[in-house]
Amino acid sequence: MNNQTIKKKKHTGRRIVLLNNEIKHDTLLKTARNASVKLAHFNDYMEKPERFPMAFREGDGIFFEKLNVAVLNYNKEEELNYIKKGADQKEILVNEPERYIYKIDQQDYVKGYRDGINAFYENYSRKKVGSHPYDKQIYEISKKFIDDELSSWGIKATNILESRYTGKNINIAVLDTGLYKTHNDLKGRNIITQSFFSTGSASDADGHGSHCVGITCGFNDKTGMRYGVAMNSNIYCGKVLNDEGEGTDGSILAGIEWAMKNKCSVISMSLGAPCDANDPFSQTFENVAKRAMKQGSLIIAAASNESIRPDVVSPVGHPANCPSIMAVGAIDSNLDIAWFSCGGLNSNGGQVDLVAPGVSVYSMINKQNEHEKWDGTSMATPFVSGIAALYFEQNPDATPLEVWTLLTQNAMRLDLSSIDGGSGLVQAPRE
């Protein structure tokens, strides 16, 4: 994985516009033309989605019909107001600045701290046995969570080996840095990849996307060690982040629309942008997540890695801070909150919904037959996404909201505050 520090730019200068659900796309496009706005339709790029950035170079923006969202080029405030009036509807609901989005990764300046903590985790248990019986129960369970020849510790902790479900026939979209799809561990799998950049392929130069796909949809390595969750799922990997791990709200929206058009039940996103205390969540992405759920897709996203515990706990990042996007925090193999995992600090959205294994997590990378152990809420999110697919398989008529409920209700309660741990440690369905 490319661990170089990325200077995190915040806004692109473009605008993302959430439209009234009553506005029909034909009316919108006609009104846009009357406002001298050349607005492309994402449907025009479905055969070659990698060409959609051309909408910003050759015109003024793009409209995502399934999401009812438009992304408009720079300096279009006057035209936006005209469209708002000309559409003869109540209003354009939200007009927000477009953000830059990044892979959820730890930065170099804390790498030494991370390595020291990981070494500590490898050799000692941080969990103390208290006087309460529950403390002893958690301690006894946590001692079992180590990698061995049978499976990774994350597979054990989430009870994957006890489940008969494999994600069969469930479409999972992983939106990330792409996929090294010729890895030996993926032989024989149903894989669809797509880039949302006009240059390069959907392959994974970084490794982040491949690692996440391995956890969500993979199976085992050449030795037979199990590390992947939904081993019989159909893999849809959208490259929404470039080879440096950077994208935009627009590229993420394109990936979500593509995943929904491909009837993906689960959309997994180990990406985001950091938030400050009291930052509101994006009304646009909240509406997108609600529309996705109504159309059969559950969006799951990483809470982010901005904390340096115990001294600094940062709030859940964008877009995981949206109430209708499931936000995933990370724990270590002792069932303690990971030192980098963000917390549910903001009262207006931004809670952690579940936690999953996110320290020293084993998976495939973007090299033939190779694997590595990585840390992050990026690694925790694929566990929840893969297990969501198992629940969709178990309950073929369930809605995304019902699967959300199953995930939270069946989670293992941990000795963590809800701010850090949400409903608890995600668990695979057993019956």
What are the tens digits of pLDDT across the range 288-338? 999 999 999 999 999 999 999 999 999 999 999 999 999 999 999 999 999
Q: How confident is the model at residue 84 (pLDDT cuts 50, 70, 90)?
A: low
Structure tokens at 55: 């909408």
- Domains recognised in the chain with CATH numbers: 20-92 (no CATH), 108-421 (3.40.50.200)
Give mean pLDDT, residues 246-268. 97
- Given a cut of 80, whether residue 135 has pLDDT beyond it is no
Which residue of the set 183, 208, 211, 318 is catalytic? Answer: 208
Whether residue 208 lies in the annotated active site: yes
pLDDT the model gives residue 94: 80
Task: Please tell me the least confidently modeled range out of 134-138, 305-309, 425-429.
Answer: 134-138
Within 10 angstroms of residue 135's Cβ, the number of other Cβ atoms is 14
Give mean pLDDT, residues 403-418. 97
pLDDT the model gives residue 124: 43
**Residue 385: C-alpha distances to residues 124, 129, 220 (Å):** 30, 32, 17
Which residue of the set 282, 378, 385, 423 is catalytic? Answer: 378
pLDDT the model gives residue 101: 97
User: What is the per-residue pLDDT across 161-220, written as a single tens digit (0 to 9) for each?
Assistant: 999 999 999 999 999 999 999 999 999 999 999 999 988 789 999 999 999 999 999 999
pLDDT the model gives residue 347: 81
Which residue of the set 105, 147, 176, 375 is catalytic? Answer: 176
Task: Please tell me the least confidently modeled range out of 79-93, 122-136, 211-225.
Answer: 122-136
Please tell me the distance from the alpha carbon of residue 392 to that of residue 403, in angstroms, as a whole number: 7
Give mean pLDDT, residues 359-381. 97
pLDDT-above-70 percentage for the chain: 84
Return the H-helix or E-strand segment holding 16: strand 11-18
Give mean pLDDT, residues 5-24. 79
Whether residue 176 lies in the annotated active site: yes
pLDDT the model gives residue 34: 75
Within 10 angstroms of residue 54's Cβ, the number of other Cβ atoms is 14
